[in-house]
Amino acid sequence: MTTRNTIISAMLIATLVFWPAVHWPAATTAATPSRILPEMVTRDTASRIDKALRYLERTQRQDGSWLNSGGWGIYPVVMTSLAGLAFLANGSTPESGPYQRSVSRALNFVLNVAEAGQQRNRKEILIAGEGSESRSMYGHGFGMLFLAECYGMEGDKTSDRAQRIRAVLEGAVNLTARAQSDLGAAQKHAGGWIYTPDGRSDEGSVTVTQLQALRACRNVGIKVPRSTIQRAVLYLKSCQQADGGICYSARSRGNSLPAISAAAVACFYSAGIYDTRTGGAGVEAKMVERLIEYCKKNVRVDGGAGHYFYTQLYYSQGMYQRGGKDWRDYYPRIRDRLAGMQAPDGNWNGDGIGPIYGTAIACMILQLPYGYLPVMQR
C-alpha cells in the first residue's frame, strides 16, 4: 500500500439517499464443505476457505489483534480489521457463529484502540490511535469499516458495547470529514484523503478506505455529511482519463492505473450508480461503462504488476455487483488462481505485506457469493 501503485476510489453518489439498502446476516454456521454451496463455490473452495479461517483463528494474538505476520509485525488495526471482516464474510458475527469468539475479540481490540484515540476536542476519534500505525488513516478507514459492519450485526443496539461502537463511529466520521483535502474553488472543492488526518492532500489507497467506510457507516444509521460525499464524487470525476481509467490522484495525475480503476468500479456499484448494461443512465452511467471497459482490458487475474491482492479485492467486488456473464467468467478464474497460491497451512502471503493481509483478502474474495458482508452486497 504505497505511492503510485496503490488504490484510489470514491463513493460515487450525489446524495446519501441513493445508497442501497443492505441486509444484515442472521445467526449462521460457517461455510463448511458439508453445506449447500452457492453457485461456482466448489467443495475444494469451501475447504480452502475453512483452512484459511482456521489459520487466522490460531494466529490471533492474546489481546485479540493480528499483525501483518500474525503474532509479530506491524499495522495492528489494519490487520485486525481485515481478519475480522474475513470472519464476518463467512457468516460469523460478534454474537454467533463458529468464529464468534475471534470476531468478538477483534471487535473489542479495535474498539479499545479507537477509544484511546479520541482527540482533544472530544468530537473526533482516530481509530488507529496516535502512533499505533505508521500511516494512521489506513487503520482509521479499515477500522471504521469493520466496526460499522459489527455494529449492524449487534442484536441489541442499546447494549453498552453497541453504544460504545456508535460513539466511536460518530467520532470517526467527524475526523474523516475534517481530514478531507480541498482542491480549491476552481475544482468545486473536490477532495480525497492522505496518510494522516492533517496531511491535507490526497492519495488513492487512503481515499478508498475512507469512502467505503463512510458508506458502511451510513448503512447502519451513522450520519455522514452530504458535502463530504459530493466532494469525493467530484474528486473521482476529475481523475478519470481519456482511456476510461483512473489516475493516481488529482494532484499527481500520470497514467491510468488498473488497481485504482478497479477500486472505482466497486464503489460505483456499491453507491447505486450502474453502467448502461445493468440499468444505469446518463453521463455517470457512461462514465462507469468506460471504466469497466478499461478494467476488462487492463486488470489481469493471472498476474499483473504489483498489489495483486489489493487490486483483486476491489475488482472482485465490482464484478460480483455487475453480475451476469462478467461475474461468471471472473469468479472461476480468481477462485482457481487463488487455489494455486495458497500455502499448505492455509495462508496467502499477499503482495509481500504478510500472510494475515493476503489471507483475509483472499477469504473475502472467495466468500463474495455468500453475500454476508453488507458493504459488499449487490
CA distance 101 to 99: 5
DSSP character at residue 162: H
Nearest to 127 by CA among 95, 183, 84: 84
Phi, psi of 256 (to 5 degrees): -65, 145
pLDDT of amino acid 280: 67
Q: How confident is the model at residue 284 (pLDDT cuts 50, 70, 90)?
A: confident
pLDDT of amino acid 25: 60
Q: Mind listing the pLDDT tens digit for each residue in 242-281?
A: 999 988 888 878 899 999 899 888 777 766 666 666 666 6
Average pLDDT of the chain, as a whole number:
86
CA distance 150 to 84: 9
- Which residues are CB-neighbours of 359 under 8 A, at least 6 positions away? 52, 55, 56, 83, 86, 346, 347, 348, 350
pLDDT of amino acid 273: 67
Identify whether the C-beta of residue 326 lies closer than 8 Å to the C-beta of residue 53: no
pLDDT of amino acid 270: 65
Percent with pLDDT over 90 in the chain: 61
Mean pLDDT of 16-23: 42
pLDDT of amino acid 305: 65
pLDDT of amino acid 271: 61
Identify whether the C-beta of residue 125 lies closer than 8 Å to the C-beta of residue 168: yes
Mean pLDDT of 89-104: 97
Return the CATH number at 126. 1.50.10.20
Residue 148 structural domain? 3-376
49-53, 63-67, 128-132, 140-144: which range is least confident on average? 128-132
Percent with pLDDT over 70 in the chain: 85
Total domains, the chain: 1
